[in-house]
Amino acid sequence: MAPVELRQVRKAYGALEVIHGVSLSIEDGQFIALVGPSGCGKSTLLRMIAGLEEISAGDVIIGDGVVNDLTPRERNIAMVFQSYALYPHMTVAENMGFNLRLAGTPKPAIAERVNEAARMLDLTALLDRKPAQLSGGQRQRVAMGRAIVRNPAVFLFDEPLSNLDAKLRVQMRSEIKTLHQKVGTTSIYVTHDQIEAMTLADRIVVLNQGRVEQEGTPMDLYRKPANLFVAAFIGSPA
């Protein structure tokens, strides 16, 4: 687990700046939702925290050090995407243990971590199945299992539920909440769904065109939106 801090982080693609000096401070163990309309820069910001995208200016701090020059693996973060990209020829257990195997973790330790994560995610009965034999929700749980077994300092989620139907989304939302209560890992959760953000997050950060419009608890944003954009986005009463 670790706190995460962004200090005046910027991102430009060529001459076009899409993230304009974002500063954020996320406490150890907190669950933050990063919300905003399509194209506002949520994925770009997340990818910069993950180390998948170079930052143009500013600092990303994880734990007590600047990680700007560290690789994604060295940052000890785990990312869950909407396209969970499980390996079709591997079992659930093999998919979940894959990253540990790459890292050279001994087999018995892999089995132990996979079993523990499977218990947490209610996947124990499914460990020998192939992804094709799972429902969409089960596949998303395997993707989360694959992230958890690495025992990361930080979880990054990029709209992990947006490919699921509405009913399953609500169910998975509560599973993610329960999971966070169990493992307590610092989490940054990107979504364009304000209800998801309101129900999951300790704090919400509203992004618009590469800038933070407001951040606060779900109640703060709902009761005291800083401007019309936030009010409209959060759905505050007019």
| Residues at the interface with Mg ion (CB under 5 A) | 43
Minimum distance, C-beta of residue 84 to Mg ion, in the bound complex (Å):
15
Q: Which residue has the tokens 């971590």?
A: 113
Minimum distance, C-beta of residue 146 to ligand ADP, in the bound complex (Å):
22
CB 190 within 8 A of CB 158: yes
Nearer to Mg ion by Cβ, of 32 and 149: the residue is 32
Q: Return the bridge partners of 35, or none.
A: 191, 206
Region of residue 168 (phi > 0: left; psi between -120 and 50: alpha; otherwise: beta): alpha
Q: Which two three-digit tokens encode residue 30?
A: 């907190």
Nearer to ligand ADP by Cβ, of 48 and 149: the residue is 48
Which secondary-structure segment (H or E) carries 148?
A: helix 136-148
Minimum distance, C-beta of residue 116 to Mg ion, in the bound complex (Å):
31
Segment contacting ligand ADP by CB under 6 A, of 34-42, 56-64, 171-179, 181-189: 34-42
Total binding residues toward ligand ADP, as defined by CB under 6 A: 10
Q: Which two three-digit tokens encode residue 116?
A: 């523990």
39-98 positions binding ligand ADP, by CB under 6 A = 39-44
Residue type, 61: I
Minimum distance, C-beta of residue 211 to ligand ADP, in the bound complex (Å):
12
Question: b vs e for 103-128, b when ≥16 Cβ sit within 10 Å of the residue's Cβ?
Answer: eebeeeebeebbbebbebbebeebbe
Segment contacting ligand ADP by CB under 6 A, of 38-46, 70-78, 84-92, 136-144: 38-46
- Torsion (CA) 141, 78, 157, 35 in degrees, nearest 10: 160
Task: Select from 177, 88, 99 the least CA-distant residue to 134.
Answer: 88
Nearer to Mg ion by Cβ, of 30 and 191: the residue is 191
Minimum distance, C-beta of residue 80 to ligand ADP, in the bound complex (Å):
15
Phi, psi of 158 (to 5 degrees): -115, 95
Which secondary-structure segment (H or E) carries 223?
A: helix 218-223
Residue 87 binding partner per list ligand ADP, Mg ion, none, with a CB distance cut-off of 5 to 8 Å that depends on partner kind: none
Residue 18 binding partner per list Mg ion, ligand ADP, none, with a CB distance cut-off of 5 to 8 Å that depends on partner kind: ligand ADP
Counting every residue written for the chain, the total comes to 238
Nearer to ligand ADP by Cβ, of 16 and 238: the residue is 16
Site string for ligand ADP, 3-32 (x = CB under 6 A): ----------x----x--------------
Minimum distance, C-beta of residue 20 to ligand ADP, in the bound complex (Å):
11
Cα(2)–Cα(219) distance, integer angstroms: 25
The residues binding ligand ADP (CB under 6 A) are 13, 18, 36, 38-44
